[in-house]
Structure 1
């Protein structure tokens, strides 16, 4: 692995290093004011099966190359790759390039790629957000009399994250969750709609990776559960946001929480893999998300849940990661997005299962994205775990629908070792409850437990 650089300057050149932090990249994007959500770095997608050749090609061009295999369990933290110009994610066949190192070698979106090159494409890296955080800020921008540029959006995002940070310092926890009175009926409406309570399956033996803002590792509802955790954003896995803990609660929470708390979790005996790919303020970059996807696939997690993304076109790196997952018996399930527009990335990749949100009357949620949709699940007024001391809260979004599908996927995966990858994808769709709406809104319909 490349050595730690002694040059810790914050000048323009250093802002686009492969090891730059998310905050450095956000600030640099604001200074550029170029009306894009690009970070200034690049992602190289290798041709399928050409990963080793691609890594060698980067080296022959004079790049210092780090490899996720340099880290335990391939849990690569970008901030820890030192002075490397690039880092390779071997499971998915993608490399992240520092912006200046790439530009010096004319490796950018304008570069012509030779037919015999191991590279499939070179694309900009984009910022990524927790779906709820992104949609909330987007709606704020839409209320302005003048359409907001992406730079104004990012500036608003930084202001929002500063406010959240101050709240966490003052109160000791995030206040993002909606605190509401929930009528206890034995199980949440989402689990009931998905036919979870009568299912005889528990997710036993199935690894479920949730790539999000981390997890409250000491939440009492998960005491004694097998949890493997890793961070990809230079912060401890402990969730100070709440989004990740909420998603993990739905996908993997307990069958019988203490006291009068309703059942809110599906795969209550599954093995939890908590990957922190979003910071405590809900933001990240494509490289960190891809590092988490690479880790989950390296650990052969049959179910990988991602309630994150952004609005934009299909990105080759995510498509390659989705295909690598399917090839290795894993299924990536991602939130379609909450912008009431076309499905965002990474869910719009053809190799990733996209999830839409349903309201309690089983109609599409007004905020739910549409177009490339594979399946739908409850996403309105979803009760689940959040970090202590609040412990429980209600959230809305395709972010909440996605772990319903992930949890049901774990139950189906338990029924047969043959239900992996594409076979699991097909089973989820084949058994979904049909709904009287177009496939562009709900896909195959409402996900159902076995």
Structure 2
């Protein structure tokens, strides 16, 4: 049995082959499967999988039940059903995988099935550029960043960045020129958690949940705290400059990646379900997995992203840092893929590019080089780089848009975001609609 995925919607009532060579890489997937179900026929679909493929009964885990999700993830041979999303994470023995796919093909209430991926943050640790994991934190490497930070600033946005009062990223998206703060809007950051005692962030946190077995939401990595700070850090941080785009927004911190910077598709699904249950208007995901040129997007993630948008919530995700095609899940058409630009407003060399496939494009760009934000105590602040850092800039802008138009749908917020972007000189394949701008 090869690592293949099938999508019934491919045409003629048959499953379309979704063969991803990246999934054949070592440590690229977990051995479990994601199954997309008809939301009106979830029990019928699960019953078919139980009877035909020998799948054990899946425990239903609702978005607000974070502890139940962790318990299921931590237990061997257990499967989870997320009813709000219509997706199940199935634990199936290797000798039953063919039966799973056969049952999925024959049961109309099962729409798609695919292997569960591992997702990562990525760190370039030193001049040797040793990559830890795959994804998105790109730490400052002087040889690479020098080519970007010494270029001339775009004249229309000012001759230089004076960061005494505001970070260059905050200025670039013009968050320092808006009266909006994101008041009344909840931003969910699904990442490595958050420093719940950080003096800048503790009063801004409206809810937390960990979906990593054996680890609390407390951030032992730093990546999640940094992203939370960029999206919704305070107007008056303990130490200047200000770095938060939407200082009036509330933070929902969901830990879907471990302190080591890795997680799974299932943990992301649990985090998304939780964010919806907590009233998030935008979900920020600085995480993902690499894809190969010509590779299709995940049919399961695309379908659930559509369901999330219909529910009124926008998902933004990091395009990726390997310089190749836009990563999973940002390559889904219903997920906004965010590229990174440097101080000269040129695309960062590590930022992934779009390819000529549906959904595999960059949608928008934001500051992602030498970005200062919050960091777990006692350090308090750190300056790092990556499409991970660009993504929460966009999430913060969406929060500002959400305050300006509280009744706007997710689709309307996306349209306003993209139409308001500042056009850049680079091709849309690299920067999408351009540089995100505060309303």
Q: TM-score range by the shorter chain?
A: 0.7 to 0.9
**Alignment CA distance shift 1:291-1:343 (3 Å):** same
Call closer, same or farther: CA 1:114–1:340 in 2, change over 3 Å: closer
Q: In the alignment, does 2:35 pair up with 1:44?
A: yes
CA distance in 1, matches of 2:176, 2:79: 47
Aligned to 2:429: 440
Residue from 393, 404, 412 that aligns with 1:415: 404
| Distance of 2:107 and 2:45 partners within structure 1 | 11
Q: C-alpha offsets along residues 206-254 of structure 1, whole Å, 9 cap, x if unaligned? A: 1100000000000011243342000011110000100000000000101
Distance 2:41 2:265 in 1: 21
Runs of 4+ that moved beyond 6 A:
134-138
| Displacement after TM superposition at 1:56 (Å) | 3.9
**Could you tell me how far apart the structure 2 residues matched to 1:247 and 1:228 are?**
16
Q: Which residue of 1 aligns with 2:145?
A: none
**TM-score computed with the length of structure 1 as normaliser:** 0.78
Deviation at 1:346, TM superposition (A): 0.4
CA contact (8 A) 1:75 1:230 kept: no
Where do 1:350-365 residues align within 5 Å?
Answer: 350-365=333-348
> Which structure 2 residues correspond to residues 418-433 of structure 1 after superposition, within 5 A?
418-433=407-422
Q: 1:193 to 1:183 in 2, by over 3 A?
A: closer
Between 1:239-248 and 1:296-305, the stretch displaced more is 296-305
Q: Which has the higher strand share?
A: 2
What's the counterpart of residue 291 of structure 1? 270
1:67 Cα deviation after fit? 1.1
CA contact (8 A) 2:318 2:391 kept: yes
Structure 1 446/121 Cα, relative in aligned 2: closer, same or farther at 3 Å?
A: same
* Residue deviations 1:318-356 (CA, integer Å, cap 9, x gap): 212211110100000000000111101000011100000
The alignment partner of 2:300 has SS state of helix
Alignment partner of 1:324 is 2:307: yes
For this pair of structures, how many residues does the alignment match? 381
Distance 1:40 1:84 in 2: 11
1:66 pairs, out of 59, 68, 71, with: 59
1:124 maps onto 2:115 in alignment: yes
1:387 corresponds to = 376
Q: Cα deviations across residues 55-91 of structure 1 (Å, max 9, x unaligned)? A: 4434545522101129636872155674663211112
Alignment CA distance shift 1:288-1:199 (3 Å): same
- Partner of 1:111, secondary structure, is helix
Choose from 60, 79, 83 the match for 1:90: 83
Aligned ranges 1:266-305 → 2 under 5 Å: 266-305=245-284
SS in 2 for 1:113: helix
Cα contact 1:413–1:420 (8 A) shared by 2? no
Deviation at 1:136, TM superposition (A): 8.9
2: CA distance, partners of 1:328 / 1:35:
36
> Any idea what the Cα deviations from partners look like across 1:104-154, whole Å, max 9, x if unmatched?
36345x536345421112211111001x3389999637xxxxxxxxxxxxx
| Aligned-CA RMSD value | 2.8
Superposed, which structure 2 residues align to 1:3-402 within 5 Å?
A: 35=26, 37-47=28-38, 49-61=40-52, 63-69=56-62, 72=65, 76-79=69-72, 82=75, 85-100=78-93, 103-104=95-96, 106-108=98-100, 111=102, 113-114=104-105, 116-130=107-121, 132-133=122-123, 140=130, 184-234=163-213, 235-259=215-239, 261-312=240-291, 313=295, 314-371=297-354, 372-402=361-391
Distance of 2:427 and 2:125 partners within structure 1:
23
Q: Distance in 2 between matches of 1:138 and 1:118?
A: 50
Question: Following the alignment from structure 1 to structure 2, what is the Cα–Cα distance between the partners of residues 107 and 271?
Answer: 45
Q: Secondary structure at the match of 1:106?
A: helix
Cα 1:223–1:318 change in 2 (3 A) is same
Give CA deviations for 1:236-292 in whole Å, capped at 9, x if unaligned: 000010000000000010111124x20000111211110000000101111111111
Provide closer, same or farther for how the CA distance between residues 95 and 437 of structure 1 changes in structure 2, counting only shifts above 3 A. Answer: same
Distance in 2 of aligned mates of 1:125 and 1:265: 34
- Residue 108 of structure 2 aligns to a residue in which SS? coil
Gap change, CA 1:258 and 1:229, over 3 Å in 2: same
Contact 1:211 1:304 in 2 (8 A): yes
SS of alignment partner, residue 76 of structure 1: helix
- 1:420: Cα distance to partner? 2.8
